[in-house]
Structure 1
Amino acid sequence: MKKSKTLNKRYESIGAAAGHSISRRRAMLACVAALTLCSAPAMAAYPDKPIRIIVPFAAGGITDVMGRTVASKLSAELGQTVIVENKPGASGMIGCALVAKAAPDGYTLLMAGIAPLATNSVMFKSMDYDPVKSFEQISMVAKQPLIVAVNNNVPAKNIAELIAYVKTKPPGEIFYGTSGSSYQLITEAFTGSLGVKMTHVPFKGSSPAIEALMGGQINFMIDPFSTLINQVRGGRVRGLAVTSDKKLDIAPEFDTVSDTAIKGFEASSWQGLLAPAGTPPEIVNKLNQAVVKILQTDEIKQNFAKSGVQPSPSTPAEFRKYIQDENARYRKVALEANIQPE
């Protein structure tokens, strides 16, 4: 009898322990469920406060224009204020580093392009961010084709004639100007593909470089369509071709470099929207869908076309791969042209 009572007490003890364990499990499951239910509306509510887009260049440039265009439309699309803050300096690296270190919550974004995201990694020995790994790519926003131009004293009306002319000169006697390191690498890619050599003359911006081209201090330059087209159409410099992958509807007078000289050659100034690495995929996808929708509107297409800008929406994965490819491309160009990082 005593043995039976002892066994019963043991079973009761085990049952009580099992009951407590089950109760704990149920409590834990209830907590998880509650957290899930709470987090779903929170994510769905994004954004619930103003968003800022950092532009790593001064106001008025093409990256700033793209940033403000997207910000105004994104604000309407998301129902939340979107402001632009200019953080210029160090070829865009100051603003990019700021975003790379920001909280990955979707409230600090970056509008940047070819220099800070592709060519700076080639031209500078150290950077405070990785152009690919430090960010979640949201979408490509725009591409601006470039114009290949010469001063009016150069006897060339197309790329073939330019090649022939350069080859009549001693190496290094033809000078090309650039408004930034990106265009230096693009020009080296162009001249390297043609098998000709020119001497680089750097300028602090497009305006002084174009002045030098018009004045005959330099012979040749490649610069964005929007900065050169008025000088070309005004007869002050001569445009030979555009670097887009196809002819431009707003400038059908220009053939492409790919069609006339270097098959498959394409080079652009470009911009895209990014967030700090670690930003939740749900936020990245929501922003991507909004940006893609904005860029597909007739209003944006028409406004961009006036400056020769091509709306270029993409998936986050496509934009990430594009940046990786651009970095690889210009590293190869720098190596072949013996361009050393500063």
Structure 2
Amino acid sequence: MIRALIAAALACVPLAAAGQDFPTRPITMIVVFAPGGPTDVMARIAADHMGRTLGQRVVIENVAGAGGTTGGARGARAEPDGYTLTVGSLGSHGAAAALYKTIAYDARELEPVGLIAGTPGYVAVRKDFPAKSLAEFIAYAKANPGKVTSGHAGIGSTPHLACLYFTHLTGLNLVSTPYRGSGPAMNDLVAGQIDQVCDLAPTVVPQIQAGTIRGLVIAQPERASVTPDVATAAESGLPDYVFTGWNAIFAPKGTPKPVIDKLSGALKAALADETVRKRISDLGSIPPGPAEQSPDALRKLVASDVEKWGQVVREAGIAPQ
């Protein structure tokens, strides 16, 4: 019995040492979408502050493709030592399991670090689009079936889910145009190459504020202070269109708990910083409260959304890609 206790105690030494020494070199944070989208923006805000807390640089690596699952797979396969993290979304780490026939990871088996922010959805159009309101847009699209082009961040992404939900509620026949991230989709909307996007606050809000696009509706019960002129879905006659995505940090399965605790603590320190919270809020996103910041809270959120969106996709009759 004594020998067994000694062996168990010695087995814990490497884990404890890992937590004490970590990190001793820069950390790579894989963002599963292209630069400029909501996941990328939230990751960079978190990484900047976390790097200062941890005493090491947190380097962003954008790995886009397949609705975020290309980057998600690379992050899941990384060494479970805390030096490779993944920033995912509701799409890549929630609904993707139902939208793809094969996916190289199960988000429920990853080690959650914590939630960065909630991201309200918007519907926006190019600035010279004929419709000035959601009602006018719906009328125009119905009068021109199969002619209005709708962009999103790729099959399985959170903006894609927002588009699916939008067309399901409105019955519109839009020409769906998938991109390798929100950034490229927004670039084409600003350039007038597509007519409309369903996307999230960090991508849409700066362009609405700059006047380069026109926001038609925010998928929230109340208007946002950062876009006060954009009506809610309820005000626009579509009360069921309520949609909020999220961005969060994950580590590979098997990452030692002391390392996860240190990473989670650094994220919590970032979210406690008023400058960080203001940066998140100024983009129309929602910083999580204390009860939402723990790894366990994120684990429960992921499990809930995998089940929820799996059911939504099945009931909508969407065939996995």
> Shorter-chain TM-score category?
0.7 to 0.9
Bigger RCO of structures 1 and 2 (CA < 8 A, at least 6 apart): 2
Alpha-carbon separation, structure 2, partners of 1:293 and 1:67? 15
Alpha-carbon separation, structure 2, partners of 1:326 and 1:175? 28
Identify which of 131, 139, 163 aligns with 1:187. Answer: 163
Q: Which residue in the other structure is 2:174 paired with?
A: 199
Q: Comparing 137-146 with 55-64, which one deviates more in the overlay?
A: 55-64
Contact preservation (8 Å) 1:176, 1:198: no
Q: Which residue in the other structure is 2:42 paired with?
A: 66
Contact preservation (8 Å) 2:111, 2:252: yes
Instruction: Report deviation, 1:305.
Output: 3.0
Which of the pair has more CA radius of gyration? 1
CA deviation map 1:7-61 (0-9, x unaligned)? xxxxxxxxxxxxxxxxxx55555x3486278457515514142232222334444
| Structure 2 residue runs without a partner (length 5+) | none
Pairing 1:114-263 to 2, within 5 Å after superposition = 114-133=90-109, 135-150=110-125, 154-155=130-131, 157=133, 159=134, 162=137, 169=143, 176-181=150-155, 182=157, 183-194=159-170, 196-204=171-179, 205-207=184-186, 209-211=188-190, 214=192, 218=195, 220-229=196-205, 232=208, 237-257=213-233, 261-263=237-239
CA deviation map 1:206-237 (0-9, x unaligned)? 1365157x46x64x432233444455456665
Q: Classify 1:156/1:101 alpha carbon distance in 2 versus 1 (closer, same or farther; 3 Å).
A: same
Residue aligned with 1:221, SS = strand
Alpha-carbon separation, structure 2, partners of 1:221 and 1:86? 22
Instruction: Report deviation, 1:275.
Output: 0.9
Alpha-carbon separation, structure 1, partners of 2:160 and 2:211? 25
Pairing 1:50-61 to 2, within 5 Å after superposition = 50=25, 51-61=27-37
Taking structure 2 as the reference length, the TM-score comes to 0.79
Residue aligned with 2:293, SS = coil
Residue aligned with 2:108, SS = coil
Count of residue pairs brought into register by the alignment: 310
Alpha-carbon separation, structure 1, partners of 2:36 and 2:205? 18
In structure 2, give the amino acid aligned to 1:122: A
Identify which of 266, 278, 281 aligns with 1:290. Answer: 266
Q: Classify 1:41/1:269 alpha carbon distance in 2 versus 1 (closer, same or farther; 3 Å).
A: closer
Alpha-carbon separation, structure 1, partners of 2:33 and 2:153? 14
Residue aligned with 1:274, SS = strand
